Amino acid sequence: MLTTRLPKQVEPYKLAANRERLEGLAALDAMPRLGEEIGAQHGDCEVRLSFDIDTQGRRLMDGHLLAHVQMPCRRCLELMPVTLESRILLGLVSDDSLAGELPSDYEPVLVENEQLNLLPVVEDELILSLPQVIYHDEADCAVSRDQLESGADADVSEQRSTSPFEVLRNLKGKL
């Protein structure tokens, strides 16, 4: 288990030149955009990053992220535990125009003044790894399937006209 904090800022080109690894924890409550998406979080994200240079001389950051968060169930809105896991492969670029030169399996990350703030990069990757929709198992959910169905709405939809042009036909008759 990791116990050290991930540095906030690094010099990725130097790390890549030395083929270094960084491992540490990033606080989830320090990620405001993640909090906006799924609510305030506590705990840490485990981050493992390897910096390297590929055969074409491109500097890259290869990594793995693991975080345990609480997200609301879409049925009952009660929080439930979710594990977020992401494998990342980032190409380090100093200019946006260089991003197009990266192979398709590299995601570009912009390095300004030879410095990289790691927390926004980790936060972006966690946001991208969020599941679209999440539900408790039916047996564990506070809302049953019967509570989700509405018989009155089903009857109304059946009573509606079978043709979407029925309304236009009625309007034409009034003109």
The residue range of the domain holding 53 is 9-133
Decide if pLDDT at 169 tops 80. Answer: no
Q: How many domains in the chain?
A: 1
Whether residue 2 is contained in a domain is answered as no
Angle at alpha carbon of residue 61, lines to 55 and 65, rounded to 5°: 140
Lookup result for tokens 């926004």: 120
Pairing of strands 79-93, 44-53: unpaired
Whether residue 160 is contained in a domain is answered as no
Whether residue 62 is contained in a domain is answered as yes
Whether residue 101 is contained in a domain is answered as yes
Q: Which residues pair with 24 in a beta bridge?
A: 47
| Of 59-68, 71-80, 130-139, 154-163, the least confident | 154-163
Percent of the chain with pLDDT over 90: 57
pLDDT tens, residue by residue, 79-128: 999 999 999 999 999 888 888 888 889 999 999 999 999 999 999 999 99
pLDDT for residue 151: 54
Burial of 130 (0-12, 13-18, 19+ CB in 10 A): middle
What token pair was written down for 138? 């039916």
**Which DSSP letter does residue 96 get?**
G
Whether residue 164 is contained in a domain is answered as no
Mean pLDDT (the chain) is 86
Cβ(66)–Cβ(82) below 8 Å: no
For residue 83, give the 3-state DSSP assignment: strand
Whether residue 175 is contained in a domain is answered as no
pLDDT band at 135 (very low <50, low <70, confident <90, very high): confident
Q: Average pLDDT for residues 35-41, to the nearest whole number?
A: 91
For residue 157, give the 3-state DSSP assignment: helix
Whether residue 170 is contained in a domain is answered as no
Whether residue 163 is contained in a domain is answered as no
What token pair was written down for 59? 């500097």
Angle at alpha carbon of residue 95, lines to 90 and 99, rounded to 5°: 45
pLDDT band at 168 (very low <50, low <70, confident <90, very high): confident
pLDDT for residue 153: 55
pLDDT for residue 86: 94
Decide if pLDDT at 158 tops 60. Answer: no
